[in-house]
Amino acid sequence: MAGATTGAVARKLAPTPTILVFDSGLGGLTVLEQVRRARPDAAYVYAADDAAFPYGRLSEPVLVERVLTVMDRLISLHAPDLVVVACNTASTLVLPALRQRFVTPFVGVVPPIKPAAEATRSRVVSLLATPGTVARAYTHELVETYASACAVTLVGAPNLAGFAEAELAGSPVDDAALAREIAPCFVTLEDGRRTDVVCLACTHYPLLLPRFQALAPWPVTWIDPAPAIARRVMQLLGPGDRNAPDAAPVFGAFTGGAGLTAPLRRSLAARGVGGIAVEAMPLGLQ
């Protein structure tokens, strides 16, 4: 379920925890925003494995190996008190291996199927995700467990995460291309019932939400798991001092850095990501 974690954090935590938010690219910024709102006093590292973006195209064994390798480096560099894996494509696959390898607690982001099943009235729900997340056994089990009474359409969008990155870097894609990616989410059944809830099961997609809303053929409820993730982080680390001023700008760590153009740096700065470092970790696959 969204925000599943290792359970209670047993070890003693520093009063100002360091939280590392990790994604393949920029999608995790949507989770970072909510977590920072919940714990403004914490220190943050935002880590993007942009050298391997998009994760949606990687095979499962390659993705597991990649995330373990990158996480190993990030944990030794930044010694976080908690890691948020702000990536459905990774969390639906890699969390067990991460928890086995590291003592650091992990909070994962997985498709918000349970809240979607609770919110739908028509019982026609769509899950918009990367092709990787849609293919996962974990995703299929979630649907089976929480939404067996619903007609669920799994939509693996091939290009949306890249479109969201382009949007943030100041080069938005046109409406027609975006509409094509979300079109399969809008389903009308033979009995006339139609989709009324769409799960945003990729952390990149909330970056495009205003555009989805404008392009949707009919209004639906879009479910973003980020606020639930922030609540889970608070459960694990405690509420901290909610009135404290932000501890410091977020430190951005990129494994590639090729896309760090001036407009993107401005966009990152506007989202509180101050210092940026490139810790080169080429994917080394091709």
Active centre residues (catalytic): 87, 202
- Please say which residue, 224 or 247, places its beta carbon nearer to ligand DGL: 224
For the chain, helix (H) and strand (E) counts, in that order, are 11, 10
The nearest distance, CB 16 to ligand DGL, in angstroms, is: 27
Report how far residue 26's alpha carbon sits from residue 53's, in angstroms, rounded to the nearest whole number. Answer: 10
The nearest distance, CB 187 to ligand DGL, in angstroms, is: 22
Report how far residue 178's alpha carbon sits from residue 76's, in angstroms, rounded to the nearest whole number. Answer: 39
In which element (H, E) is residue 250 found?
strand 250-254
- Please say which residue, 247 or 253, places its beta carbon nearer to ligand DGL: 253
The nearest distance, CB 242 to ligand DGL, in angstroms, is: 27
Name the site residues for ligand DGL (rule: CB under 6 A): 23-25, 27, 53-56, 87-89, 130, 133, 161, 202-204
Report how far residue 28's alpha carbon sits from residue 24's, in angstroms, rounded to the nearest whole number. Answer: 8
- Please say which residue, 71 or 247, places its beta carbon nearer to ligand DGL: 71
The nearest distance, CB 251 to ligand DGL, in angstroms, is: 20
The annotated binding site for substrate is made up of 23-24, 55-56, 88-89, 203-204
Dihedral angle, C-alpha 121, 126, 128, 134, nearest 10 °: 130
Report how far residue 89's alpha carbon sits from residue 119's, in angstroms, rounded to the nearest whole number. Answer: 23
The nearest distance, CB 230 to ligand DGL, in angstroms, is: 16
Q: How many CA atoms lie within 13 A of 265 on its CB side?
A: 10
The annotated binding site is made up of 23-24, 55-56, 88-89, 203-204
Question: Which runs of consecutive H residues, i.e. helices, occur in the chain?
Answer: 29-38, 60-78, 88-101, 113-119, 131-135, 137-146, 160-168, 175-182, 209-215, 226-237, 262-270
- Please say which residue, 46 or 53, places its beta carbon nearer to ligand DGL: 53
Strand 197-200: give its sheet, edge to edge.
151-156, 124-129, 197-200, 221-223
- Please say which residue, 114 or 204, places its beta carbon nearer to ligand DGL: 204
Report how far residue 143's alpha carbon sits from residue 149's, in angstroms, rounded to the nearest whole number. Answer: 9
For the four alpha carbons of 138, 139, 140 and 141, in that order, the dihedral sign comes to: positive
Find where tokens 């607690």 sit.
105
